[in-house]
Amino acid sequence: MLRKIALLAIPGTAPFEFGVICEVFGIDRSDSGGPVFDFSIVTATPGPVPTSLGFDLMIDNDLSGAADADLIAVPAHSIGAVDERYLDVIRAAAARGAWVLSVCSGAFVLGQAGILDGRRSTTHWMHTDRLMRQYPGTDVDPDVLFVEDRGVVTSAGTASGIDAALHIVRKELGASAANVIARRMVVPPQRDGGQSQYIESPVVECRSDSLVGVTEWMLENLGEDLTIDQLARKALMSSRTFARRFRAETGTTPAAWLNRQRLLRAQQLLEETSLGLEQIAAETGFGSAAVMRHHFLKVLQTTPTAYRRAFGAPLRAAS
């Protein structure tokens, strides 16, 4: 169970990425039905910790607070050699099976710790070539928002750290918990790790009124067999133009976006209702429980039954 979070304050840390971790894990959202974490910020030498922007963070806790953490988070920082004491904390966390999360250039710290060897990873697209050169033992994917490989999650630039953190919350505590955090942060809860870093527009939400209308209609009709041609007609575009515009504004294809929405809706129904698997599959557009199971295994590495057992409301799951 994800309970105790330790954020490493490393000299040269980037304030925004540091703040991303604080925002996801450090705020009590129990009044909205969200999770409450035992969150602490730790550093090798308590006191002032310089940031990449020239001001200091005052950190009181030493690294002993990370010894039994369920998640060790490493924000972006000025790329360079890191105190061995931080690396030991990261190695120990990976060895005991705790989550390790890096945001942006924080992946280089994980590389120095040696825990990326034999794993897939990513970082900000500006740094992927350097990560490949410095740590040839890791398989760097330069195109994605984040990568999870056996408990180690590396994310691309800035906002993708939110996606990666929500991914961990979702896997540990369920979609509802992740959605509460996302809603309070006013960010989309559904971006996949495999979504491209490279999008033409600087935001994830659709700017075009026609595309907004289509995505809203897609969400209202998840149980239907939706085709590209049908969606393009709703947007008053050719199929080719619609597919190109959709990817430019969302960073993914209509089919991938739709499939993710179906998964999210299925997760919600498994958590919050006692509906049978076949009925959930029909309502979410998967058609059959077998097809839904295939998508759960492919994307979430679990089955719908196991997901309900882990995250469903006890009375509903029992029924």
Contacts of 314 (CB under 8 A, 6+ apart): none
Does residue 274 sit in the same domain as residue 286? yes
pLDDT tens, per residue, the chain with 319 residues: 899 999 999 999 999 999 999 999 999 999 988 999 999 999 999 999 999 999 999 999 999 999 999 999 999 988 899 999 999 999 999 999 999 999 999 999 999 999 999 999 999 989 999 999 999 999 999 988 899 999 999 999 878 999 999 999 999 999 889 989 988 888 866 565 655 554 443 333 444 556 888 988 999 999 999 999 999 999 999 999 999 999 888 778 999 889 989 998 999 899 889 999 999 999 999 999 999 999 999 888 889 999 898 888 654 333 3
Do residues 106 and 116 make contact, with C-beta atoms less than 8 angstroms apart?
no
Query: Does some domain include residue 195?
Result: no
Query: Does some domain include residue 202?
Result: no
Does residue 99 sit in the same domain as residue 146? yes
Does residue 296 sit in the same domain as residue 272? yes
Amino acid in the structure at residue 209: D
Query: Does some domain include residue 200?
Result: no
Contacts of 10 (CB under 8 A, 6+ apart): 43, 49, 74, 75, 77, 82, 83, 86, 109
Do residues 73 and 98 make contact, with C-beta atoms less than 8 angstroms apart?
no
Does residue 246 sit in the same domain as residue 260? no
Does residue 231 sit in the same domain as residue 278? no
Does residue 10 sit in the same domain as residue 69? yes
Query: Does some domain include residue 192?
Result: no
Does residue 282 sit in the same domain as residue 144? no
Residue with tokens 């969302």: 250
Does residue 308 sit in the same domain as residue 168? no
For residue 38, which phi and psi values (nearest 5 degrees)? -85, 95
Domain that holds residue 267: 256-318
pLDDT digits over 114-142, tens only? Answer: 999 999 999 998 999 999 999 999 999 99
Does residue 172 sit in the same domain as residue 152? yes
Total domains in the fold of the chain: 3
Does residue 110 sit in the same domain as residue 241? no
Query: Does some domain include residue 75?
Result: yes
Query: Does some domain include residue 158?
Result: yes
pLDDT digits over 158-195, tens only? Answer: 789 999 999 999 999 998 899 899 888 888 665 656 55
Task: Write down the pTM of the prediction.
Answer: 0.75
Query: Does some domain include residue 190?
Result: no
Q: What CATH number does the domain containing 284 carry? A: 1.10.10.60
Query: Does some domain include residue 224?
Result: yes
Does residue 215 sit in the same domain as residue 107? no
Q: What CATH number does the domain containing 76 carry? A: 3.40.50.880
Residues 280, 267: Cα–Cα separation, whole Å: 9
Dihedral angle sign, alpha carbons of residues 78, 79, 83, 86:
positive
Total number of residues shown for the chain: 319
Does residue 292 sit in the same domain as residue 235? no
